[in-house]
Amino acid sequence: MIDQIRDGNSTIILGAGGGGKSMFMRYLWLSYFEKSDGKIPFFLELRNINSLSHKSFEDFIYHTIVKSGSAIRQQDFRASLKAGEIILFLDGFDEINFDRRDAVQERILELHDNNPNLTIVVTSRSDERFIGWHGFTVARVMPLSRDNSRLLIERAERLALD
């Protein structure tokens, strides 16, 4: 899946609450700082859109980035989207208020369609709406069994000791 994302495939990562989607998303985002592949990674928590009134999803993204201290001009940001120089990590679609989800979905799909070189990665709990997201690959986070959870903790403990 990581290779597919690095190849520019927009992806939806689905899984149960607490299943590790956000942690995996942060890992992906941070991995782009180590090996950027010529892309600028931006991580946005979609729950923040609940309190905003931006008309354009692109404006929401831009203003979130500027708020974080970036000096990028809006016209340069738009050009970077078009050129595929940005990868967007949009975490927590399921945390968007129900009354806003359809509009946000429409805006994400519009942003994707208008910028075919842009890579977008979205996390969410499972939802049938994602069946209609053409141009996105759907991946699922598998739940950890008790034995796999134990193995993961043991490995983390060994790594911490090394």
Look up the CATH number of the domain holding residue 14.
3.40.50.300
Bridge-based pairing of strands 40-45 and 10-14 is: unpaired
Kindly report the pTM of this predicted structure. 0.82
**Could you list the residue range(s) of the whole structural domain that residue 9 is in?**
2-161
Quickly state the pLDDT bin for 59 (edges 50, 70, 90): confident
Residue 93 has pLDDT above 80, yes or no: yes
Examine the pLDDT at 37 and tell me if it is beyond 70: yes
pLDDT score for 162: 64
Q: Is the pLDDT of residue 158 over 80?
A: no
Extract the runs of DSSP E, i.e. beta strands, from the chain.
Answer: 10-14, 40-45, 86-91, 119-124, 136-140
Query: Based on the structure, what is the number of domains in the chain?
Result: 1
Residue 23 confidence (pLDDT) above 90 = no
